[in-house]
Each structure stands twice: as C-alpha cells, then as structure tokens.
Amino acid sequence: MTSPKTTSTTSTTSTTTTLTVDAQPGPFTYEPARTALVVIDMQRDFIEPGGFGESLGNDVSLLAEIVPTVAALLAFAREQGWLVVHTRESHAADLSDCPPAKRLRGAPNARIGEPGPMGRILVRGEPGNEIIEPLLPLAGEIVIDKPGKGAFYATRLGEELAMRGITRLVFAGVTTEVCVQTSMREANDRGYDSLLIEDATASYFPAFKQATLEMVRSQGGIVGWTAPLAALTAALTATQTD
C-alpha cells in the first residue's frame, strides 16, 4: 500500500494551530491543544501469550506486531502536548460489573475472572490486566478502566475530555473491530471527530480489521477518518517547513 499524499494547512493565532492530515475519506483537521490520543486496551491479557486473547484460540502475535507503531504514536502525541488516554478492559474483583452474557465466553477454565498465567483474567489489579511494558502510561496521563467494549460506557472519559475542551480524538489499539470501533462509534454519537491510525490498530482476524477501516470511513466518514501514522507525522513536518 502506497502512502497517501500528505498536505497541511496552518491557521495560527496566539493560542491555536490547526493542522490538516490527508486521511480517508478526506482531510482530517485538528488543533493539537484540543486533541487527545486514546490508546485502547494494549493489555497483557490481550497481547501476551497465556492471556485471555490466547485462551479464546487467537494468535496474539498479530496484535504484538503493532506495538512499535503504537509506541511511536505515543511519543509523537507526547511531544506535541496532546492529552493522552489509555484504556483497560477490566472488571471488579467480585465481577459485579461483568454480566453473564460477557463472562460466559472462551474455555470454561479461561473465562473472565478465572485464574490464568497472569492472575485472574481481566480483573483489575491483576498482572495480566496491566498495559504492556513498552506502552506504560506516564505520570499525568489518564487511565480509564472500562467494564465494557466502549471507552465511554460506565467510565469518566466523557467528563475528562469535556473538562479539557477536547474536540478531536485520535485512536489506536486493539481490537479494531471490537473495542476500538465501539469506542469510535460512541465518540461519534457524542460529537467528537475521530481519526483511526491504520497501522496502530490490529485484530486477531486481519480481514475484520480491513472491513472495520472501510466501515469507519464509508459514506463520507460516517464514523470517522483513517490514516497511517506517516500521514499524521508528515502533516506536522510540512507545517514546520512552510
């Protein structure tokens, strides 16, 4: 896949800078001061061998492949002073926030709340529930523990974004068709414009990832925009050289 052409426009005042990324289905425009990076569920239980993802019969190496790109995206967001949000799909120790419709998935001895190689699966405070080492949150970054697939459901994310005047969201993480897409749809319903970084998201099923990218940007961007990381960084570089 060839990288799309990247253009940038800059509108500056004493307090604002506007950048434009050449994304699909069209340009994605954002102000860094009003933009947040949301990294979805880059947890040991999903990405490392022995976790919940593997217990479902999945090849976790497909998710591990995006870790360097997500790390580069995190570094970019931090350098630009964006708000950074990390999510973890997790449940209370008593599983009071995990309905049977969700819990009764996977092998009987490897369901949510059951003991696994990294502690109880998808339970807050257990080793497997933690974000993987290369992507650990820094002090001051927001960490959202979510009991559902969407980042807004039963969490404080909406309030945190509103307090900071955030209007644009850039998404990364796993899995593309489940928690990432659900969170983007929730964001769209709440009035946020969202960009999904194509090479910073993954699925256990590559065809599902591709289908989700196409769904997100279909019909003029019915859910949001998509672009590779190179397009995002190139927009800033072009602005700096104007």
Among 51, 32, 34, which residue's Cα sits nearest to residue 232?
Answer: 32
Report CA Rg, the chain: 18
- Provide the 3-class DSSP secondary structure of residue 228: coil
Contact at 8 Å (CB) between 229 and 200?
A: yes
Rounded Cα gap, residues 213 and 177, in angstroms: 9
The encoded tokens of residue 57 equal 């019969």
**Pairing mode of beta strands 119-120, 142-146:** unpaired
- List the 27-30 sheet strands across, edge first: 11-12, 17-22, 27-30
Active site residues: 41, 146, 179
Residues ≥6 apart with Cβ < 8 Å to 162: none
